[in-house]
Amino acid sequence: MINKVGRDIPDALLTNGREVYQGKNYMDGKYIQKASPRTRRCEKPVDTKVVDSLVEALKQCGAKDGMTFSFHHHLRDGDYVVNQVMAAAIEELGLKDLTIAATSLGAAHDPIADYIEEGKVIGIQTSGIRGRMGEVVSAGKLKTPAIIRSHGGRPRAIEAGEVHIDIAFIAAPTSDPMGNCRGIGGKSNCGSMGYAMSDAKYADHVVVVTDCLVPFPNMPASVEAIDVDAVVVVDSIGNPKKIASAAARISQNPRDLMMAENVAKVIASTPYFKEGFSFQTGVGGPSLAANLFLEQYMDEWGIKMGWAIGGICGPMVELLKKGKVGKVIDVQDFDLDAVNSINQTPGHFEMSASQYANPANKGAFVNSLDFVVLAALEIDTGFNVNVLTGSDGVLRGAPGGHPDTAAGSKCCIIVTPLVRGRMATVCEHVVTVTTPGDCVDVLVTDYGIAVNPLRPDLIECLDQAGIPHVTIEELKEKAYSLVGRPDDLEWEDKVVAVLEARDGTILDVVRKIKPYDPNQAE
């Protein structure tokens, strides 16, 4: 069936009432029956939940073939926990047919590719998929199609019972012996633990994995002991150097700065740019640089930002400390400045992934956003964005909060250079639709600005402010004139990944690339 963004979704996927994408807010007002985990009553006082090993914890939680294990990605490329747990389950306990439901996966998890090839891991549900895992999944080696969700779509699916987590593994920088976890105070600090919260509340069993045991009670707890079955102390949960980087630097690249300045101009031309406006930005070069120009406009107009959300990094913490933003609400931290600020700097709060972006609760933060500034791997003339598959069709990205913030915000601005190397960023059809075009309002490139025709109000704003803009078709033609029109990718029929829209409908599928062969590719 062809969906709202023109993608052909195989009927075989449309079972159990699953629908194809029908446009933003299609599910608004419908009802959801929440999932009901089955948990073990711990009525009798115990002195500690610490067990000797991951194997012991797995046994205690009844780990068996076919189960779904969940993980969160606050330790980012420094994460050791996914690999440690899967090694214990597969190599020590001999389990098979396992599914990994992670908030995101990356190059740190290359060893999981082997388990996929061996058929031990048969399902992957994630936002990000990169590195060797992306390659083997793209090569069709995962038994079931990977399910790719946004950061808001994941808690939605968990709360709706579409993902049933048998055991959630919580990578915790600190935990007390009962399982109260925090993201700071240890040797592998990650700050916010927002993505782990829904997992802990909806999993049947919860195992905390920490490398820093602290006295009870470890408060304020990001994951609460009342949801935790067992605590395992390991040597290290991650590589601190790769968990949080030093403060994110704002780009000095003149092209990036020019685009960033134009983003700020566009923002300032809209009626939403007023005292108390709300804002989210990515951490890519031009997105982050937009902060700088925005601050200049705020000073000039004498207004302050009301609140900011998202993955947080140093420049936003700096604005908070300078009193230029009222509150920062934080689901993930990207650098040490943010890690060391959350729950410490007044006005810097932690939130769950559901609070951040779940479209099926009663009002996530993204739905109150005025502006979001986002990057793209590709954007097509329907304003559809791809942040998942490379130009070769291989999985190597993550929708993350992109579709959620784009859908929820009053003004979603994509900022990207028109071409990257020999690839056109603005194109006829993106390889994979990860954010539907009806959620994207403005495109800022180094060769011009385009506004989505769905937003005549914004077109008028730009005109009144004297900001030149063109059609997105013109930008596409310019891009093709610079680097040529790319050849169409050739696909096999086999679906290797299903791209869920934030509301749970199917936005796109990724098929096996032809004649993709990871061995030849080396």
Using CB under 8 A, list all residues that contact a second copy.
25, 27-46, 49, 161, 178-179, 206, 215-217, 219-220, 224-229, 276, 306-307, 327, 329, 349, 354-355, 358-365, 367-368, 408, 410, 503
Supply 37's token pair: 């985990």
Strand partners, 350: 330
Minimum gap (Å) between residue 212 Cβ and a second copy: 18
Distance between CA atoms of residues 61 and 203, nearest Å:
11
Nearer to a second copy by Cβ, of 57 and 364: the residue is 364
Q: Which residues pair with 307 in a beta bridge?
A: 278, 327
- Which CB, 298 or 424, lies closer to a second copy? 298
Cα–Cα distance measured from residue 462 to residue 326, given in angstroms and rounded to the nearest whole number: 28
Would you state the torsion angle of the CA atoms of residues 298, 282, 415, 288, taken in this order, to the nearest 10 degrees? 50
81 or 407, CB closer to a second copy? 407
Which CB sits closer to a second copy, 15 or 36?
36
Strand order in the sheet with 378-380: 385-386, 378-380, 426-427
Q: Least separation, in Å, of the C-beta of 492 and a second copy?
A: 35
Question: Which residue number, 83 or 343, has a Cβ lying nearer to a second copy?
Answer: 343
Q: How many residues does the chain have?
A: 522
C-alpha to C-alpha distance for 107 and 79, rounded to whole angstroms: 10
Distance CA 482, CA 422 (A): 8
CA distance 118 to 419: 39
Tell me the closest approach of the beta carbon of residue 242 to a second copy, in angstroms.
30
The residue among 91 and 275 lying less far from a second copy, judged by its C-beta, is 275
Contact 232, 180 (CB under 8 A): no
Q: How far is the CB of 4 from a second copy (least distance, A)?
A: 15
Smallest distance from the beta carbon of 75 to a second copy, in angstroms? 24
Helix H or strand E encompassing 297 = helix 285-301
Rank residues 4 and 511 by Cβ distance to a second copy and give the closer one. 4
Which CB, 33 or 464, lies closer to a second copy?
Answer: 33
Q: Whole-number minimum distance, CB 129 to a second copy, in Å? A: 26
CA count, 13 A, side-chain hemisphere, 333: 29
Write down the least CB distance from residue 158 to a second copy, Å. 13
CB of 436 to a second copy, least distance (A): 13
CA distance 324 to 94: 54
C-beta separation of 326 from 276 below 8 A: yes
CB neighbour list of residue 322: distance below 8 Å, 6 or more residues apart: none
